[in-house]
A = this chain, B = another copy of it.
């Protein structure tokens, strides 16, 4: 699906399901991207890839006909610009704490007069209109809610003009609500409450409620709860699980 169609669908809050890539392995990224996922996200924060991984990964996703987005390493105008210039149809910005930081992310994503994105859409111009207003209209900007401050300020973040949605990072969010490790059962109530709070804030503001999940099963549950932008993660963990299962089976364990 084209970047423009993907943006329309996502903003209309029709559920979209994506896949999360942390491997610098364009061949597998292309293969996964052909399966029918609405989008494929390259993780440039915790994923194991440098710039060439972003570039070849986006090319692989384009070859597969899905929409490629990038979780940038930080809320920096330079890295947001590089992801977009390389052809990303959107960015997921980590660790957004407040409206000011969300506004900075938006400025990095939008060209003037709506932002400060510098002009040089080297690869993105191939699929996303090189005219600034078209790019501004198409590219998605999602702010991650995963810190105590971000959770506290989620309504203000959702209200920032140009923010297309909020994206929950469950591992960091679990630590943010006091967990000792991701999925810490001791804070499951606080964690679930945080999910509801963020989702409702998004729904109230009319922006996308997005979230990361570990499996198709959890993804389905999140969609049922009202999230409309749900990513299944990740290539590395799924491959490890599959290989471990094959080994146990082979050995009759």
Which one of B22, B34, B120 contacts A45 once the chains associate, using CB atoms below 8 Å? B120
**Contacts known (A17-B247, A46-B85, A180-B133); A123 close to B239, Cβ less than 8 A:** no
The reply to whether A78 and B81 form a contact with Cβ atoms under 8 Å apart is no
Tell me which residues across on chain B come within 8 A of A19, comparing CB atoms: 243, 246-247
Whose C-beta in chain B lies nearest to the C-beta of A27?
A: B48
Question: Is A200 at the interface (CB under 8 A from chain B)?
Answer: no
- Copies of this protein in the complex: 6
**Contacts known (A24-B25, A235-B28); A182 close to B247, Cβ less than 8 A:** no
Question: Is A104 at the interface (CB under 8 A from chain B)?
Answer: no
The reply to whether B246 and A235 form a contact with Cβ atoms under 8 Å apart is no
Question: Is A164 at the interface (CB under 8 A from chain B)?
Answer: no
**Contacts known (A59-B30, A122-B236); A249 close to B219, Cβ less than 8 A:** yes
What's the tally of chain A residues with a CB closer than 8 Å to chain B?
A: 94
Q: Which stretch from A1-9, A69-77, A153-161 is at the chain B interface?
A: A69-77
Tell me which residues across on chain B come within 8 A of A241, comparing CB atoms: 242
Question: Is A185 at the interface (CB under 8 A from chain B)?
Answer: no
Question: Is A245 at the interface (CB under 8 A from chain B)?
Answer: yes
Which one of B122, B132, B133, B230 contacts A250 once the chains associate, using CB atoms below 8 Å? B230
Q: Which residues of chain A from 80 to 130 have any CB-CB distance to chain B below 8 Å in the complex?
A: 81-82, 85-86, 94-95, 111-113, 116, 118-123, 126, 130
